[in-house]
């Protein structure tokens, strides 16, 4: 028996398989902070405790948070200044007005998709909450790799990265039969997933954050 770790930190004992993925961009460069979600007819998962999206050094922490549909998220503010968190994303428009410390009740997320977060005080702050269906998700590391522990076979994968689209909503659905496999450096089999875009440099990404902010403002202001 192995244990399964959920986004909330809950561990459940069950038979699992370790499935490894490598995410690269159009230039075959490894991509960090890409989300891979296994898609299967088995969507069952236990009730999950609230996940945590913190605010540290005027940044959302983590930059990308993965949760499961129906899960809630708390938004503590660990900075010594106040923040005003909001989103206009279709899966969950909401706002938590100017506050310090920990606000009231966690925010529930009942629809799948991606929620782009902003701060109405600090324009550069952008974060993402990926709401999955099955609960079996992974986030790629700086080498572009992620391991997902899953008890079932998967039919397809959903692949997401913040730079796939300006509004952050685009997710790719890739059938398992279409995925390419290769051998990793340690001799294990790994699925290779390629994004149809070139991932921008950190400096270019800062400009992209401004574009995202402008996209928010088209919908109004908190």
| Domains delineated in the chain | 2-217 (2.60.40.420)
First to last CA, the chain: 48
Question: What pLDDT sits at residue 213?
Answer: 55
Contacts of 144 (CB under 8 A, 6+ apart): 22, 23, 24, 29, 30, 31, 32, 34
Question: What pLDDT sits at residue 88?
Answer: 95
Question: What pLDDT sits at residue 153?
Answer: 82
Q: How far apart are CA 33 and CA 140, in angstroms?
A: 5
Kindly report, residue by residue over 129-158, the tens digit of the pLDDT: 999 998 899 999 999 999 999 877 899 999
DSSP3 helix / strand / coil % (the chain, rounded to 5)? 10, 45, 45
Question: What pLDDT sits at residue 7?
Answer: 45
Question: What pLDDT sits at residue 8?
Answer: 43
Q: Is the pLDDT of residue 208 over 70?
A: no
The residue with tokens 């522990």 is 149
Contact 8, 170 (CB under 8 A): no
For the ranges 23-27, 41-45, 86-90, the lowest mean pLDDT is seen at 41-45
Kindly report, residue by residue over 32-64, the tens digit of the pLDDT: 999 999 998 766 666 689 999 999 999 999 999
* pTM score, whole prediction: 0.85
Question: What pLDDT sits at residue 46?
Answer: 61
SS3 39: strand
Contacts of 8 (CB under 8 A, 6+ apart): 48, 49, 50, 51, 67, 71
Kindly report, residue by residue over 70-83, the tens digit of the pLDDT: 999 999 999 999 99
């Amino acid at each position: 028996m192995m244990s399964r770790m959920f986004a909330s930190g809950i561990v459940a004992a069950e038979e699992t398989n370790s499935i490894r993925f490598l995410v690269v961009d159009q230039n075959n460069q490894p991509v960090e902070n890409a989300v891979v979600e296994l898609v299967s007819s088995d969507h069952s998962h236990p009730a999950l405790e609230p996940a945590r999206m913190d605010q540290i050094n005027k940044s959302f922490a983590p930059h990308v948070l993965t949760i499961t549909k129906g899960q809630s998220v708390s938004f503590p503010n660990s900075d010594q200044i106040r923040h005003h968190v909001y989103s206009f994303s279709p899966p969950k428009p909401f706002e938590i007005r100017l506050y310090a410390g920990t606000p009231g009740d966690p925010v529930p997320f009942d629809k799948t998709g991606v929620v782009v977060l902003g701060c109405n005080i600090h324009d550069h702050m952008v974060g993402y909450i990926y709401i999955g269906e099955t609960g079996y998700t992974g986030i790629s590391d700086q080498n572009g790799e992620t391991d997902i522990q899953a008890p079932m076979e998967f039919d397809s994968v959903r692949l997401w990265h913040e730079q796939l689209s300006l509004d952050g909503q685009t997710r790719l659905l890739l059938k398992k039969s279409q995925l390419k496999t290769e051998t990793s450096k340690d001799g294990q089999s790994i699925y290779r997933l390629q994004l149809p875009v070139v991932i921008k440099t950190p400096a270019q990404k800062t400009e992209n954050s401004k574009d995202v902010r402008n996209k928010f403002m088209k919908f109004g202001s908190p």
